[in-house]
Amino acid sequence: MTLWEGAGPDLHARYDAVDWASTPLGPPEQWTGTLRGALRTIVNSRFPAVLLWGEEFVLLYNEAYVELIADKHPDALGRTAQSVFPEAWDEIGPLMQGVLDGGGSFRVDRTLMPLHRRGFLEDCWFTYSYSPVQGTGGRIEGVLDIAVEITSMVLAQRRAITLTGLADVLAGATTAQDLRSRSLALLRGLTEEFAAIDLRLPGEPVDAGADGADLPPAPSALLVPTAAYVEETAAGRVVWLQLGQPAPGEEVPVLVARQSGRLPFDYHYRHFLRGIANALTQALTRIELLASERRQAEAERNVSIALQRALLTPPPEHERLAVAVRYVPAAHVAQIGGDWYDAFLQHDGALVLAIGDVAGHDLAAAGTMAQARNLTRGIAVATVDGPARVLEGLDRALELLEVRSIATAIVARVEPLELLEQLDPDAQRDRWRFVWSRAGHPPAVLLRPDGTTQVLDAGGETILGIDPATVRTDLAVHLPVGSTVVLYTDGLIERRGIPLDVSIKELCTALAAGAHLDAEALSDHLLSTLVVPSEEEDDVALVVLRVVS
């Protein structure tokens, strides 16, 4: 029976082939009982173990240790540790010597120890312990090294952290260029994984900077979406991955990386690269979908605005009444909606003013707005009825025409007063009467000639589209020369976190401050005072009536 009887056939043959007499240990028959016993123990163990024997630390190891040192086997058997591990000797040599000199055993956890074991200097991580092996009389004859390689675990954890971090930085990317900048800021810091890496975007120039150095401008073969293309270059191994499936005649982004020379190009490395490519592909797809949605929303916004402005015609000219109108679209695409106004004359010469807001903020709301505005105009022009009857007719028409929406509105009729000669001369200043009916809409505000304001908040019946049988009421107020009435939609006054009554008071204050202005200038004053251009959360319609004479 040999000393290495427990070794497998291949390792057994390797032990037999060593010329032990030429080693510092001498022939096996001269080995001490301590060495013989220790060797029998490790060769029968299934845990990676190596004896580092004598003052020169000659290697004797078991089958499990062969996988750990890879290509260093079988030449490592019977050779000194310094000759087998020159790349690590500066670190491990003093540790072995310390144990041999009586410093006691110790353990090292999760340490990086680069080894030249597969044709290149490879980053490896180990947890290992060195223990003294004592012979007769307590003399330390050698060192027992029990080692566990944890390289796969360390790399898996590091790569998982990288992919998680990549997902985090990509979440905030809004354009392909932004995504490229964010991702490369992270990936180019992984020098232990990549000697160079770049993300090539269609139509963008190839990065010629230091971070993209040594990367070919293009692959030497046609790329396919489902596989990585690997080519060997003078600078090292380069991997190309196409990000997504291109449509005919189109290009897609490409990830290109030159592998670090200190890691094996194995399944785990390729899987890591594919994980990066998948994260980039998903983020690019998300960005493109968002861009497409923005383009569609912007197109709808433009159509909505064009529709509204086409319908919101200038008011009629009047010798004694001045009317100014404004429409301001919301800052946000999603808030373009159904605000509208109108001003026209009835057969008897009375001026009709209307303003409304259809529920919704999209192209459908703009379409419903057009129907509501045109119906209101048609009903009012066909008769000389007051505002209440017009709103009742509009409510019934919306139901009959199956316009499935709700809306708020004010319809007002501005009519001249026929003053008799016997009236008190002081009363003759009341030349006009403002008659209105309100369907759930924010109240009009009256600015009197003396600069005081009055909120016309009486009435305010149910909004349109709820109950077509609603009976509505006409209310009236006299307008002396110099009076001003303001009709508006909620975008002028509503602000997040501010009560509506406070906002209406702010409107009254702004209105009084602009009392000296004509209707056109007053309209601009109200918008500039009450609406912050970058913060409009809703579109704004505005009608300003001034009694001139």
pLDDT tens-place string over residues 264-287: 999 999 999 999 999 999 999 999
Q: Residues 362, 326: contact at Cβ < 8 Å?
A: no
CA distance 216 to 218: 5
Neighbours of 54 (CB within 10 A): 17
CA distance 540 to 337: 10
Q: Residues 460, 388: contact at Cβ < 8 Å?
A: no
| 3-class DSSP assignment, residue 20 | helix
CA distance 184 to 171: 14
Q: Residues 491, 441: contact at Cβ < 8 Å?
A: no
CATH of 9-149 given 3.40.50.2300, 3.30.450.20, 3.20.20.70, 3.40.1000.10: 3.30.450.20
Asked if pLDDT for residue 14 goes beyond 80, the answer is yes
Asked if pLDDT for residue 105 goes beyond 50, the answer is yes
Q: Where in the chain is the domain with CATH 3.30.450.20?
A: 9-149
CA distance 537 to 149: 60
Length in residues, the chain: 549
pLDDT, position 335:
46
Higher pLDDT, 220 or 48: 48
DSSP one-letter string for 203-242: TSPPP-SGGGTT--SS-SS---TTS-EEEEETTEEEEEEE
Range 133-162 burial, b when 16+ CB lie within 10 A, else e:
beeeeeebbbbbbbbebbbeebbeeebeeb
Asked if pLDDT for residue 112 goes beyond 70, the answer is yes
CA distance 339 to 107: 76
Band (pLDDT 50/70/90 cuts) for residue 220 is confident
pLDDT, position 337:
60
* Per-residue pLDDT tens digits for 186-201: 999 999 999 999 999 9
Quick one: fold of 312-547?
Answer: Phosphatase 2c; domain 1 (3.60.40)
Q: Residues 401, 371: contact at Cβ < 8 Å?
A: yes
pLDDT, position 534:
58
Neighbours of 481 (CB within 10 A): 15
Asked if pLDDT for residue 82 goes beyond 50, the answer is yes
Q: Residues 230, 219: contact at Cβ < 8 Å?
A: no
Band (pLDDT 50/70/90 cuts) for residue 244 is confident
Band (pLDDT 50/70/90 cuts) for residue 431 is confident
Element (H, E) at 4: none
Note the CATH architecture for domain 154-289: 2-Layer Sandwich (3.30)
Classify residue 211 as exposed, middle or buried by CB count within 10 Å of its CB (0-12, 13-18, 19+). middle
Tokens of 524: 């601009």
Band (pLDDT 50/70/90 cuts) for residue 366 is low
For 533, phi and psi rounded to 5 degrees? -55, -35
Band (pLDDT 50/70/90 cuts) for residue 422 is very low
Q: What percent of the chain has pLDDT over 90?
A: 65
Q: Averaged over 74-88, what is the pLDDT? A: 98
Q: Residues 341, 325: contact at Cβ < 8 Å?
A: yes
pLDDT, position 460:
82
Q: Averaged over 449-454, what is the pLDDT? A: 95
pLDDT, position 83:
98
Q: Which one-letter amino acid corresponds to residue 92?
A: I
| 3-class DSSP assignment, residue 539 | coil
For 288, phi and psi rounded to 5 degrees? -65, -40
Q: What percent of the chain has pLDDT over 70?
A: 90
Classify residue 273 as exposed, middle or buried by CB count within 10 Å of its CB (0-12, 13-18, 19+). buried
Classify residue 219 as exposed, middle or buried by CB count within 10 Å of its CB (0-12, 13-18, 19+). middle
DSSP one-letter string for 78-146: TSBHHHH-TTTHHHHHHHHHHIIIII--EEEEEEE--EE-SSSEE--EEEEEEEEEE-GGG-EEEEEEE
**Region of 119 on the Ramachandran plot (φ > 0 left; ψ -120 to 50 alpha; else beta):** left
Band (pLDDT 50/70/90 cuts) for residue 127 is very high
pLDDT, position 279:
96
CA-based nearest residue to 477, from 516, 506, 445: 445
Band (pLDDT 50/70/90 cuts) for residue 418 is low
DSSP 72: G
Q: Residues 468, 395: contact at Cβ < 8 Å?
A: yes
Q: Where in the chain is the domain with CATH 3.60.40.10?
A: 312-547
Tokens of 481: 């020369």
* Per-residue pLDDT tens digits for 368-395: 777 778 888 888 888 888 999 999 998 8
Largest CA distance in the chain: 146
* Per-residue pLDDT tens digits for 302-346: 666 666 566 667 888 898 999 999 988 776 544 456 788 999 999
Band (pLDDT 50/70/90 cuts) for residue 421 is very low
For 341, phi and psi rounded to 5 degrees? -145, 165
Q: Which of 2-11, 13-22, 33-42, 104-113 has the lowest mean pLDDT?
A: 2-11
* Per-residue pLDDT tens digits for 137-152: 899 999 999 999 999 9
Q: Residues 463, 408: contact at Cβ < 8 Å?
A: yes
For 42, phi and psi rounded to 5 degrees? -75, -35
